[in-house]
Amino acid sequence: MEEKREIKRIDENRIIIEKHGKMNVDGIVYVDEELFRALSKDESLKQVENVACLPGIVGASYAMPDIHWGYGFPIGGVAAFSVEEGIVSPGGVGYDINCGVRLLRSDIEAKDVGERIREIVDMLFSNIPSGVGSHRKDFKLSKEDLKKVAREGAKWAVDRGYGKKEDLQRIEDGGIIAGADPETISDKAYERGRDQLGTVGSGNHFVEVGYVKEIYDERIASAYGLFLGQLTILIHTGSRGFGYQICDDYIKEMLKASEKYGIYLPDRQLCCAPVKSEEGRRYLSAMAGAANYAFANRQMITHWVRETFEQIFGQSSEKLGLEVVYDVCHNIAKIETHRVGGKDVKVCVHRKGATRAFGPKEKLLPEKYREFGQPVIIPGDMGRASFVLCGTQKAMEETFGSTCHGAGRLMSRNEAIRSAKGRQIKKELEEKGIYVRAATKDTLLEEIPDAYKDVSSVVKVVHNAGISKLVAKIVPLGCIKG
């Protein structure tokens, strides 16, 4: 008979699921009472427990306030596994490998844009393909080209004129995850990825134009290049069909590996292999290739965003001040060194629907941000706000340098479509001053603001818990959706 789950509140922003049954560590969820009540709708807390059962897990099985049900691991889940004794699991990364978000700042003031927002959004929609299966008709890569993308990431795009070398300094890991081996990637993945580079895709992916409505920390905002009333651009997309296929391929491989190595799985979706095994090495190499594809994807979209603004404003992107603030991964597994039990330990950190949030003085951060901590970019839904935060030392001590990644869904896509039946979502958003273009009507229905938790509530928890610090609030003016 399974032991009963015991949940206790640690403080206003955290609960603990105490270790029981086959759990190797506790589960810790960053959530206040309001957000906790929403968790009764799915099995995400059970997934936190399941992850805690995997071999070699250290610290705790963590989840962020945007937690909701996912494949194997909950979305919003963070777990670190000893490189020596632990595992790597595709379910701890997800299908959209390195789904992530990039923030661009500008010297343009939102008050000077006015009705031109329609022109901007229409031209972005024309210049950047979006939607299910979206691809560039004028841009197809050979398998050999894609192998280079998988190895070189954003640098591949910059070397071919899609952006500037300075962009690379403001991307997590410089836009290249080390260790990618193109030979660990299937022909089917290469076929799916050959014409999708430089595209937004579908679902919750978007390119959004907004402006800085509030500043919470003037000093850090200034260091990030942000000011009140400033026009900004958010790019949220990932590795498209390329990453999806890589995940799909390796789930099949990991199901066999779990059996081969005698790993107990409370849920088959947690299939995994030891980090040091051949299967583990192959997955990490292929995953790095997909992550690098995603970095190149956001880099190319950045280039087309800059071109769009140059066409509309008749000035160079340099004169318009269109610079990358930062680019972060959401779905990734990384080998990092963290302090565990008073010792520096090499661990494989899974962040699934979670953002790296490294604190001040970390050497992996750009020098200009090192004094303050890493920029953390939290996109909201298309009708509310997004936030910029910074990483903290407390995140380094408590969550392996991790925080939330977005609002987190309350409804499935089908539920959202049923809920929005008969509503004119585009018109509702326009009444709020937000102009939206989408590839299909269903995209707007499944991405209604009601389908998500209020991102303001989510970031309040991580700020109050001290694992990231509020810097600025950005509200949308216009958006293109898949």
Task: Quote the radius of gyration of the chain (alpha carbons, Å).
Answer: 21
Backbone angles phi, psi at 220, to 5 degrees: -70, -40
Three-state helix/strand/coil letters over 64-92: EEEEECCCCCCEEEEEEEECCCCEECHHH
Angle, helix 116-127 to helix 278-313, in steps of 10 degrees = 140
CA atoms within 13 A on the CB side of 42: 22
For the record, the structure tokens of 94 come out as 């997800």
Q: Give burial (CB, 10 Å; 0-12/13-18/19+) of 466.
A: middle
In three-state secondary structure terms, 431 is: helix
If phi > 0 it is left, if psi is from -120 to 50 it is alpha, else beta; for residue 21 that is: left
**End-to-end distance of the chain based on CA atoms, in angstroms?**
46
User: Which residues are part of the catalytic machinery?
Assistant: 405
Q: Name residues whose C-beta falls within 8 Å of residue 470's C-beta, 6 or more positions apart in sequence.
A: 216, 217, 387, 389, 459, 463
Partnered with residue 436 across adjacent β-strands are 479
Q: Name residues whose C-beta falls within 8 Å of residue 264's C-beta, 6 or more positions apart in sequence.
A: 22, 53, 55
For the record, the structure tokens of 268 come out as 């088959």
Q: 42 vs 235, 361, 394, 410, CA distance in Å?
A: 29, 39, 29, 9
The tokens 């799985």 sit on which residue? 265
Pick from 385, 313, 393, 400: nearest CA to 352: 400
